[in-house]
Copies of this chain bind each other. A is one copy, B any other.
Amino acid sequence: MSTTHSGKGSDLERRLALLWIGHTPGQRGPNAQLTVDAIVRAAIRVADANGLETLSMQRVAAELGYSTMSIYNHVPSKDLLLELMADAAAGEPPPSEDTQDWKGAVLRWAGHLWATFQLHPWILRIPLDHAPIGPNQLTWLDRLLRHLLVGGLAGSEAMAAGLHLISAVRGAAQVSADLTGGHRTEEPPGQAARLLAELIDPRRFPVLAAVNAAASSHEENGTDGGHDLPADLTFGIGRFLDGIEVWAGSPKR
């Protein structure tokens, strides 16, 4: 067995190759009509339109007008297809700014990431089996780190802060996606909140009950445009950056 790719080859090797190089087109056989790129784009189309749960290999194949198994000639598994989709949907990050206003830059970066999640909510539901290693995702990270270094952090600190920020945006986006996508124009949206409010026994959740009551009194959420960060997230990131500023400015470290 000549094993042009060493049998299964390293999982990771194959993965990285597909993520970074696309598919090295075979020299010998007939020219492939199907390409990795076309498959990924079709899959993204399906996910955007009908959600991740309806995405299946056969659905993707149908979208392209090919048989199910043809897909596997270009993409070895559904898991990897999802990974490719996530990286492709992330796309190019916003252009990096050369500014001293690093806090503003980070906030804008977060706004763009937020917008991406609004555009492709299914990204949040892809089970991630390892740290993201796609080219686009790494580019996003690179841009973010740049601003954090301007802010005065050391390398490892910047990395920690970067992952922290990504988590915060992801988490907020997930909550947002769950709320907006949860009910399909069924009951009045207040229903859920009201039901839950009954369950929050002030004796059992003294703090939560108080906070909840205070919050629901002046509930005006604005028609979240989609591109701007919600106030909650802006607050969280803002405080985080404040803390970083203090840290970077302190002499002791």
Q: Which residues of A contact B (CB under 8 A)?
A: 10, 12-13, 16, 20, 125, 127-131, 133, 135, 138-139, 141-143, 145-146, 149, 154-161, 163-164, 166-168, 170-172, 174-175, 178-179, 182, 187, 191-192, 195-196, 199-200, 204-208, 210-211, 214-215, 231-233, 235-236, 238-244, 246-247
Contact = CB atoms under 8 A, between A and B. Distances in A.
B16 A199 contact: yes
A82 B142 CA distance: 36
Contacts of A172: 163-164, 167
Contacts of A210: 155
14 contacts: A13-B195, A128-B174, A129-B178, A131-B178, A138-B200, A138-B205, A139-B205, A141-B208, A146-B207, A161-B235, A164-B236, A170-B171, A240-B243, A242-B246
Q: So how many copies of this chain end up in the complex? A: 2
A12 B191 contact: yes
A168 to B, nearest CB: 5
Contacts of A166: 171
Contacts of A129: 178, 182
A211 B20 contact: no
A10 B20 CA distance: 47
Contacts of A135: 199
